[in-house]
Amino acid sequence: MTIVANYSSAESRATGTLTVLGLETSCDETAASVVRLSPDGEATVLSSVVHSQIDDHAAYGGVVPEIAARSHVEMIDGVTRRAMVEAGVGYDELDGVAATAGPGLVGGVMVGLSFGKAVALARDLPLMAVNHLEGHAVSARLGARVAYPFLLLLVSGGHCQLLEVRGIGDMTRLGTTMDDAAGEAFDKIAKALDLGYPGGPALERLAKQGNGARFDLPRALLGRKDCDFSFSGLKTAASRLAQTCETAQDRADLADAVQTAIARQLSERSDRAMKAYAERHKGRLFVVAGGVAANGTVRATLEATAANNGFAFLAPPMAYCTDNAAMIALAGAERLQKGLISDLDAAARPRWPLDEKSALDDPTHKAGRKGAKA
Ligand code: KG4
Ligand code: ZN
């Protein structure tokens, strides 16, 4: 990483405001966005274009990495052009380019990162290789004026983590999943219930007609003092029960039980994190980001937990909760503001823990298939 302090555009030289193009291609969304960051930390989204590949993957019941990478190659040009046009800025008005460099499906990450490098090289702009999780971590700052520090629960299809967010490049992981992410559990159980992909929203709709009280699903990690998560036992138990469901009511009842169990675990682990966080910080803000934050039961349960602990509760607008490039552009702009620039040979990383120290210290999350991504 190189530390620089000279910004390129006339606007930034005059006002200190930074305008950054962000690119996101780590999973099944091709996204580009232009974000402006004022010297006092206020973010303005000038454009945010997201092309979802859901239709390309639906037939397979999940994201197919090869199809995703090819689709990113086809879409990245047009999506970026649209983001620039909608923002109404030219390339000479940009101060930098930010691209997700991991963690994620590496074929896709390479597409966005290479594209970002090409723009940086062609326009002589600084490149910021951004950790996708860092993007989610700052996403609350896109919808409202949110000051650091805050406690974040990031809960999506690929991630389930509790993070103490003190600023860009300054975050501590308090807990992570030891197996599946919560969204992954929603999706896989939904698949066992024949609800299609992505299953989370469909499972939530079905659960509205059910009453899960009659199902006794496993409660993982009860009584453990850390803030980690585990959803694989629940996933296996619920998938088995799905095979025994005979009526539509059985299925709705199971969906309700699953949703309640996931919400309960998220809330129990967040409760621990809030208590630990409150010992270190005076401010009390709890932010929930990621696609699973769309779930009404999850949200309501977490909101109640936050209130019990004296925390204010914030979930960014859905457009910034799920994968998008505005969060990558903002993380990039905050990095640029601090002079944290990446080299043009920055590598695409399938696994990249946001808090490398916690990932190395914690023996349950060794580098490897599970640990580094989680
Ligand atoms: O953040 P996101 O768009 O993508 C990443 O995984 O990064 O999150 C997608 C995940 C999927 O697992 C999806 O099933 C889940 O969020 N999700 C939901 C709901 N809406 C999206 N899960 C439960 N209830 C929902 N309403
Ligand atoms: Zn994500």
Per-residue pLDDT of 145-189, as tens digits, reads 999 999 999 999 889 999 999 999 999 999 999 999 999 999 999
The secondary element (H helix, E strand) that includes residue 358 is helix 356-361
Return the pLDDT at 369.
Answer: 45
Which pLDDT score is estimated for 8? 63
Looking at residue 189, what is its pLDDT?
96
The domain segmentation of the chain, as residue ranges, is: 2-143+321-353, 150-315
Query: Which positions of the chain have pLDDT values less than 70?
Result: 1-8, 13, 362-374
Strand pairing category for 285-289 and 150-155:
parallel
Ligand 1 atom closest to the Cα of residue 294 is 26
Ligand 1 atom closest to the Cα of residue 184 is: 12
Residue type, 214: R
pTM of the model: 0.89
CA-CA distances (angstroms) from residue 181 to 72, 186, 196, 238? 24, 9, 18, 15
Pocket of ligand 1 from Cβ distances under 6 Å: 27, 156-158, 183, 186-187, 198-201, 204, 290-292, 294-295, 322-323
Distance, CA of 336 to CA of 295 (rounded, Å):
34
pLDDT of residue 221: 82
Please calculate the CA angle 195-196-200 and round it to the nearest 5 degrees. 70
| Cα-to-centroid distance, 198 and ligand 1 (Å) | 7
Cα 257 to Cα 238: distance, rounded to the nearest angstrom: 9
Structure tokens at 52: 């979802």
Whether the domain at 2-143+321-353 and the domain at 150-315 fall into the same CATH topology: yes
Closest CA to 51 of 70, 24, 14: 24
CATH number of 2-143+321-353: 3.30.420.40
Using the mean position of ligand 1's atoms as its centre, give its distance from the Cα of residue 279 in Å: 31
Predicted local distance difference test score (pLDDT) of residue 7: 52
Q: Are 2 and 346 in contact (CB under 8 A)?
A: no
Residue 1: what pLDDT?
53
Q: Are 84 and 34 in contact (CB under 8 A)?
A: yes
**Alpha carbon nearest to ligand 1 atom 22, residue:** 200
Superfamily of segment(s) 150-315: ATPase, nucleotide binding domain (3.30.420.40)
Ligand nearest to the CA of 24: 2
